Amino acid sequence: LFSVSYRGNEAKKRELALMDSIRIGDSIAALENTPVLNDVAAVVDTTVLSVAQSTALDEKQALKENLRLAHYGFSEGIALINKNKKWGYIDKNGTIVIPLKYDYAASFSEGLAAVEKNGKRGYIDKDGNTMISFKYNYAEPFSEGLALIGINGKEGFFDRKYGFINKSGKMVTQCIYDFANSFSEGLAAVSINGKWGFIDKSGTIVVQCQYNNVSSFKGGETKAELNGETFRIDKRGNRI
């Protein structure tokens, strides 16, 4: 059985809801009109439980197996699937559009998806073509035209540094940050020596790395923490 993907922290609760909502023979098209649309990501057939029908498995037992590893959803018309620890993608008809051959895969974002082979991550398009070569130890989905990537140091993960690339694979900012978050509203949170600040898309620090913790910007402001005090700041670092 392939695993279906769904989001949510309350995994068991969502799984039970899906079990109660999906019937043998339901198609992906039918699922699009149900309350669990955002939870159901993928089924590798036009029916949810064609395997269960042919093997006379208990319906809920089969659903539980199908949902066991799920945690993603459809993105840009394509969903992740997993079988035998390999990842691939299907469309909403249940057709495999990118073979299950990756050790790790993320949902598509801005036309590309981060995937991993042989311990290295790169990016593919919706036809499965490699668009950015497999050379990173870490890679996140594209956001606002840029993607957060990471390169291990001499001590591997423990001294990994992070930077950003564009869709051509060109380094926009070098891997100099201890930690970083994806871009949001034109700025990305970055950490140097345990302190957080923000850079713009040219890599220029626009809010100095002085905070103990920050969140991504939303609506022109974000939460910041300094010396045990939590407050909100604007895109220039001014307290609100």
Reduce the secondary structure of the chain to three states and give it as a string.
CCECCCCCCCHHHHHHHHHHHCCCCCCHHHHCCCCCCCCCCCCCCCCCCHHHHHHCCCHHHHHHHHHCCCCCCCECCEEEEEECCEEEEECCCCCEEEEEEECEECCCECCEEEEEECCEEEEECCCCCEEEEEEECEECCCECCEEEEEEEECCEEEEEEEEEECCCCCEEEEEEECEECCCECCEEEEEECCEEEEECCCCCEEEEEEECEECCCECCEEEEEECCEEEEEECCCCEC
Read off the pLDDT of residues 85-121 as tens digits, 9 standing for 90 and up: 899 998 878 788 999 999 999 999 999 999 999 999 9
Q: Angle formed by the axes of helices 11-21 and 59-67, to 10°? A: 140
Task: Give the pLDDT confidence of 161-170 residue by residue, as tens digits.
Answer: 999 999 999 9
Contact between residue 215 and residue 209 where contact means Cβ atoms under 8 Å apart: no
**Global pTM?**
0.72
β-strands 86-90, 195-199: how paired? Answer: unpaired
* C-alpha to C-alpha distance for 73 and 7, rounded to whole angstroms: 7
- Apex 107 CA angle, 198 and 14, nearest 5: 105
What percent of the chain has pLDDT above 90?
59
Task: Report residue 201 as tokens.
Answer: 């898309």
For the segment 75-90, what is each residue's pLDDT rounded down to a tens digit?
A: 898 888 888 889 999 8
Token pair listed for 97: 């559009």
More confident residue, 31 or 81: 81
Banded model confidence at residue 5, pLDDT cuts 50, 70, 90 = very low
Has residue 58 got a pLDDT over 70? Answer: no
Q: What is the mean pLDDT of the chain?
A: 78
pLDDT of residue 74: 80
